[in-house]
Amino acid sequence: METLLAILIDGLVYASWLFIVAAGLTLVYGVMKILNMAHGSLYAIGAYSAASLVGWYFGSGHPPWGSFALFIGGAVIAGMVTGLIIERGVLRRMYGRDEVVMILVTYGVLLILEDVTKLLWGVDAYFAYQPYGMIGRVRFSDLTFAGYDLTLIAVAGLVGFALWYALNRTRQGKLLRAVIHDREISLAMGINVTRIFIVTFIIGSALGALAGGLTAPALSVAPGIGIEIIILAFAVVVIGGLGSVGGAAIGALLVGICRALAVHTYPQFELFIIYGVMAAVLAVRPQGLFVIARARKI
Amino acid sequence: MAGRKNVRNYSPVQLATASIVCLLTAALCLGHPPSVRADEGTYKLGLVTFLSGAAAGPFGVPARNAAELIIEAINAGTLPSPYDSKGLAGMTIESTIIDEAGGGTKQVGEFRNLVQRRNVDAVIGYISSGDCLAIAPVAEELRALTIFFDCGTPRIFEDNDYKYVFRTGPTSTMDNVAAARYILELKPNLKSVSGMNQNYAWGFDSWNDFKWAMGVLKPDVDIKTEQFPKLGAGQYGSEISAVMVSRAEVIHSSFWGGDMEGLVLQGAARGLFDNSQGIFTCGETAMFRLSDQIPEGTIIGGRGPFGVFAPASPLNDWFRKSYMDRFGTPPTYPSYKMAQAILGLKAAVDKAAAAKNGKPNKEEIAAALKGLEFQAPSGVVRMSLGKGHQAVQEMVYGQFTKKNGKPEIYNVRRYPAECVNPPDGVKSEDWIKNSLKQTSCN
Amino acid sequence: MGSDRTPIFLCAALLLLLVVGLFIPNWLVFLFTISMAKGLVVLGLILLMRTGLVSFGQGLYYCLGGYIVGISGQHWGITDVALVFLLVVLAATLLSSILGLLLCRYREIFFAMLTMAFSMILYGILVKSEKLGSTDGFIIAQATLFGWQPEVEASGTWIFALAVIITLVALLVMHLYFRSPMGFGGEAIRENEIRVEYLGVSPRRLIYIKYVVAAVLAAFGGAITAVAAGHVDPEMAFWATSGEFVFIALLGGTLHVAAPLVGAFLIEIIRTIALDLAPYTWQMILGGSLLLIIFFLPKGLWSLLPKRREEEGL
A141-A145-A151-A152 Cα dihedral, nearest 10 degrees = -130
| Contact C26/A at CB under 8 A | no
pLDDT in tens, B246-276: 889 999 999 988 889 999 999 988 888 888 9
What is the predicted pLDDT for the residue at A294?
Answer: 62
> Which residues of chain A neighbour C284 with C-beta distances below 8 Å?
111-112, 114-116
Nearest to C57 by CA among C18, C100, C17, C13: C100
* Closest chain C C-alpha to B110 CA, distance in angstroms: 7
Q: Which of A180-184, B419-423, C118-122 has the lowest mean pLDDT?
A: A180-184
> Which residues of chain B neighbour C242 with C-beta distances below 8 Å?
none
Query: How many Cα atoms sit within 13 Å of A287 on the Cβ side?
Result: 10
Q: Quick check: C310 and B115 CB within 8 A?
A: no
> Which residues of chain B neighbour A223 with C-beta distances below 8 Å?
52-54, 56-57
Q: Which chains touch C (3 or more CB pairs under 8 A)?
A: A, B
pLDDT in tens, B36-75: 444 578 899 999 999 888 888 889 999 999 999 999 999 9
Please state the φ and ψ torsions of residue B33, each to the nearest 5 degrees.
Answer: -60, 145
User: Average pLDDT for residues A100-107, to the nearest whole number?
Assistant: 86
Of B228, B237, B292, the CB nearest to A267: B228
What is the predicted pLDDT for the residue at B16?
Answer: 54
Task: Name which residue leads in pLDDT, B381 or C274.
Answer: B381
Nearest to B379 by CA among B442, B302, B280: B302
Query: Which residues are CB-neighbours of B187 under 8 A, at least 6 positions away?
Result: B249, B250, B277
Q: Which of residues 66-85 of B touch C (CB under 8 A)?
A: none
Q: Quick check: C110 and A99 CB within 8 A?
A: no
| Contact C288/A at CB under 8 A | yes
> Which residues of chain A neighbour C295 with C-beta distances below 8 Å?
93-94
CA dist., res. B52 & res. B54, Å (int): 7
> Which residues of chain B neighbour A260 with C-beta distances below 8 Å?
238, 241
Task: Name which residue leads in pLDDT, C14 or A76.
Answer: A76
Which domains, and CATH codes, for chain B? 42-171+311-392 (3.40.50.2300), 173-302+394-435 (3.40.50.2300)
In total, the C-beta contacts within 8 angstroms joining chain A to chain B are 143
What is the predicted pLDDT for the residue at A292?
Answer: 64
Q: Quick check: A104 and C290 CB within 8 A?
A: yes
* Closest chain A C-alpha to B59 CA, distance in angstroms: 10
> Which residues of chain C neighbour B123 with C-beta distances below 8 Å?
none
Query: Which residues are CB-neighbours of B199 under 8 A, at least 6 positions away?
Result: A270, A271, B228, B229, B230, B231, C127
- DSSP annotation of A170 reads S
Contact at 8 Å (CB) between A113 and A38? yes
| Contact B17/C at CB under 8 A | yes
Contact at 8 Å (CB) between C174 and C50? no
What is the predicted pLDDT for the residue at C278?
Answer: 80
ipTM for the assembly: 0.87
Coil, strand or helix: which one is B340? Answer: helix
> Which residues of chain B neighbour A149 with C-beta distances below 8 Å?
237
pLDDT band at C304 (very low <50, low <70, confident <90, very high): low
The partner residues of A110 in beta bridges, in order of sequence, read: none
Could you count the other beta carbons within 10 Å of the beta carbon of residue A265? Answer: 11
pLDDT in tens, A117-167: 989 998 888 888 888 888 888 888 778 888 888 999 999 999 999 999 998
Contact at 8 Å (CB) between B67 and B305? no
CA dist., res. A238 & res. A282, Å (int): 8
> Which residues of chain A neighbour C127 with C-beta distances below 8 Å?
271
Q: What percentage of chain B carries pLDDT values higher than 90? A: 43
- DSSP annotation of C256 reads S
pLDDT in tens, A50-74: 999 998 888 887 788 888 888 999 9
Q: Quick check: B109 and C275 CB within 8 A?
A: no
Q: Which of residues 108-167 of B touch C (CB under 8 A)?
A: 108-110, 112-113, 115-117, 129-130, 133-134, 136-138, 141-142, 153, 155, 159-160
What is the predicted pLDDT for the residue at A298?
Answer: 57
Contact at 8 Å (CB) between B303 and B329? no
Contact at 8 Å (CB) between A147 and A136? yes
Contact at 8 Å (CB) between B346 and B74? yes
Q: What percentage of chain A carries pLDDT values higher than 70? A: 98
Of B60, B241, B261, the CB nearest to A220: B261
> Which residues of chain C neighbour B230 with C-beta distances below 8 Å?
none
| Contact C280/A at CB under 8 A | yes
Could you count the other beta carbons within 10 Å of the beta carbon of residue B185? Answer: 12
- DSSP annotation of B81 reads T
Q: Quick check: C114 and A298 CB within 8 A?
A: no
> Which residues of chain C neighbour B136 with C-beta distances below 8 Å?
139
Q: Quick check: A220 and B258 CB within 8 A?
A: yes
Which residues of B lie closer than 8 Å to A, measured between beta carbons?
51-54, 56-58, 60-61, 199, 225-230, 232-235, 237-239, 241-242, 244-245, 247, 257-259, 261-262, 265-266, 269-272, 289-290, 292-293
Please state the φ and ψ torsions of residue B323, each to the nearest 5 degrees.
Answer: -65, -45
In total, the C-beta contacts within 8 angstroms joining chain B to chain C are 162
> Which residues of chain B neighbour C12 with C-beta distances below 8 Å?
13
Residue B79 sits at the vertex; the CA angle it makes with B73 and B81, to the nearest 5 degrees, is: 155
User: What DSSP assignment string belongs to B229-245?
Assistant: PPTT----HHHHHHHHH
- State in Å, rounded, how far the first CA of chain B is from the last one: 86
Q: Which chains touch B (3 or more CB pairs under 8 A)?
A: A, C
3-state helix, strand, coil in chain B (%, to 5): 45, 20, 35
User: Average pLDDT for residues B408-413, to the nearest whole number?
Assistant: 91
Residue C249 sits at the vertex; the CA angle it makes with C244 and C253, to the nearest 5 degrees, is: 155
What is the predicted pLDDT for the residue at B18?
Answer: 54
* Closest chain A C-alpha to B390 CA, distance in angstroms: 30
Q: Quick check: C287 and A94 CB within 8 A?
A: no
Burial class of residue C105 (count of CB atoms within 10 Å of its CB; 0-12, 13-18, 19+): middle
What is the predicted pLDDT for the residue at B278?
Answer: 92
Q: What is the CATH topology of the domain spanning A2-284?
A: ABC transporter involved in vitamin B12 uptake, BtuC (1.10.3470)
In total, the C-beta contacts within 8 angstroms joining chain A to chain C are 108
Of A17, A114, A220, the CB nearest to B262: A220
Q: Which of residues 319-348 of B touch C (CB under 8 A)?
A: none
Pairing of strands B122-125, C138-139: unpaired
Q: For residue A38, give the chain C residue with the closest CA.
A: C287
Task: Name which residue leads in pLDDT, B16 or A142.
Answer: A142
| Contact C129/A at CB under 8 A | no
What is the predicted pLDDT for the residue at C83?
Answer: 86
Q: Supply the pTM of this predicted model.
A: 0.87
Coil, strand or helix: which one is A175? Answer: helix
CA dist., res. C265 & res. B301, Å (int): 45
Q: Quick check: B57 and A2 CB within 8 A?
A: no
Of C49, C117, C192, the CB nearest to A275: C117
What is the predicted pLDDT for the residue at C307?
Answer: 52
Q: For residue A270, give the chain C residue with the closest CA.
A: C124
Q: Which chains touch A (3 or more CB pairs under 8 A)?
A: B, C
Sign of the alpha-carbon dihedral angle for B237, B239, B242, B247:
negative
| Contact C127/A at CB under 8 A | yes
Contact at 8 Å (CB) between A47 and A197? no
| Residue at B308: amino acid letter | V
Q: Quick check: A99 and C290 CB within 8 A?
A: no
Residues in chain C: 314
Q: Where are the beta strands (DSSP E) in C34-142?
A: 138-139
Q: Report domain extents, chain A.
A: 2-284
Q: Quick check: B23 and C266 CB within 8 A?
A: yes
What is the predicted pLDDT for the residue at B33?
Answer: 47
Q: Quick check: B201 and C135 CB within 8 A?
A: yes
Optimal mutation site among A3, A8, A220, interface B, most CBs of chain B within 10 A: A220
What is the predicted pLDDT for the residue at C139?
Answer: 81
Omega of the bond prior to B422 within 30 degrees of 0, cis?
no
Tell me how far CA of residue B187 lies from CA of A106, B58, B181, B182, in angstroms. 53, 31, 10, 9
- State in Å, rounded, how far the first CA of chain A is from the last one: 56
What is the predicted pLDDT for the residue at C310?
Answer: 44
CA dist., res. B237 & res. A239, Å (int): 23
Pairing of strands B299-301, B277-280: parallel
Q: Quick check: C128 and A271 CB within 8 A?
A: yes
CA dist., res. B437 & res. C312, Å (int): 76
pLDDT in tens, C192-240: 888 888 888 888 888 899 999 999 999 999 999 998 888 888 889 888 8
Is pLDDT of B34 > 70?
Answer: no
CA dist., res. C246 & res. B438, Å (int): 56
What is the predicted pLDDT for the residue at B36?
Answer: 45
pLDDT in tens, A181-222: 888 888 898 888 888 899 999 999 999 999 999 999 888 888
Residues in chain A: 298
Is pLDDT of B166 > 90?
Answer: yes
Query: Which residues are CB-neighbours of B95 under 8 A, at least 6 positions away?
Result: B44, B45, B46, B47, B67, B71
